[in-house]
Amino acid sequence: MDAGLDLGFDDAQQAIADAVGQFCEERCTPAAVRAQDGRFPAELWRELAELGVLALLTPEAEGGAVELVAALEPLGRAAFPGPLAASFFATQVLPEAERREVAAGRAVVSVGAPPLLPWAPCAQIFLELDGATVHRAEPRGAVAPVDTLGGEPWGRVELRRVAELAGASRARLVFGIAAAAYLASAGLRLVEDTAAHARTRRQFGRPIGEFQAVSHPLADAWIQLEGARGLARAAAWHLDQSGEAPARALAAAALVCARREAVSAAHRCHQLFGAIGITVDGPAWFASRRIRQLASLPAGCAEEREALLRHFGL
């Protein structure tokens, strides 16, 4: 990472973050997220598309990867449901007509390696991953719904490849930046909520946040997640300013770190919330289940780890 790189947003980028944050505060409350359990969030998705978020980083919209990160951070803090990173992956490889449908929120994308695919029961567009390549595909038969930890509608289905699509390398890069920004921000929100609980929950006559066994794990989690968020911003900046090659290692590091640290933070926060931390209706579950689900998505960490090893000559 460049020593002199300013990772703060400029006024226009901050305006995007503020607008999306306001939208999430009004429309994507924890209760609203829980209400989407097991189904596609059609109304929220349409409203997000109307804000122009799904069109970011496409030829039809202004803004680049940093603007994408500015939108993904508040969406992560709200644990916004839906195939966000997959949609941004798709807009980098699809032909114009289908890209516009995805950006407008009229087409849902399922990206992965069959037979188990995320969001398959409600998808109109299927993209099959095979190593470094991506194919436009069509279902061979009906999709068999599968229950998931995150409450997302996944499904089992066989796919028939229609055509190999160009742009897979850039799409994976964009996916990594988007997922890292979302995961790091979701983890930070969970850490902040846990810290607020620790300031008011008392044990042995003192707030539990005064005990090192509580405060130190939270501080460690916050530092690691801030680092992952910074890596995502840096990767986005390099993608905008210098192209794919300078951004690739940073994006890989951002995704690997964000996945690891967000899952670790979820585990710590469940413990520190105590008994209410393991209840479905508790203050941690709605966010931690999204973290764990996104951390298990296809376009997994194997490719990112390989990219980092190559970058360091290992």
User: What values do phi and psi take at 146, rounded to 5?
Assistant: -130, 130
Encoded tokens for 39: 């189904």
Exposed (0-12), middle (13-18) or buried (19+): which is 267, by Cβ within 10 Å? Answer: middle
Q: List all residues 6 or more positions away from 310 whose beta carbon is below 8 Å from its beta carbon.
A: none
pLDDT interval class at 54 (50, 70, 90): very high
Q: Report whether pLDDT(144) > 70.
A: yes
Q: What is the mean pLDDT of residues 252-277?
A: 88
Is the domain spanning 11-166 CATH 1.10.540.10? The answer is yes
What is the model's pLDDT at position 153?
A: 92
What is the model's pLDDT at position 200?
A: 85
Cβ atoms of 107 and 42 within 8 Å: the answer is no
CA gap 71, 77 in Å, rounded? 11
- Which architecture does CATH list for 169-311? Up-down Bundle (1.20)
CA gap 101, 118 in Å, rounded? 19
What is the model's pLDDT at position 288?
A: 87
What is the model's pLDDT at position 37?
A: 81
Residue ranges of the domains in the chain? 11-166, 169-311
* Least confidently predicted of 17-21, 152-156, 299-303: 299-303
Cβ atoms of 284 and 277 within 8 Å: the answer is yes
- Say which residue the tokens 């579950």 belong to: 285
Cβ atoms of 214 and 198 within 8 Å: the answer is yes
CA gap 108, 102 in Å, rounded? 6
Q: Give the residue with greater pLDDT, 184 vs 282.
A: 184
Q: Report whether pLDDT(107) > 70.
A: yes
Encoded tokens for 55: 């069109």
Encoded tokens for 263: 């899952």
CA gap 148, 137 in Å, rounded? 23
Cβ atoms of 185 and 294 within 8 Å: the answer is no
Cβ atoms of 69 and 232 within 8 Å: the answer is yes
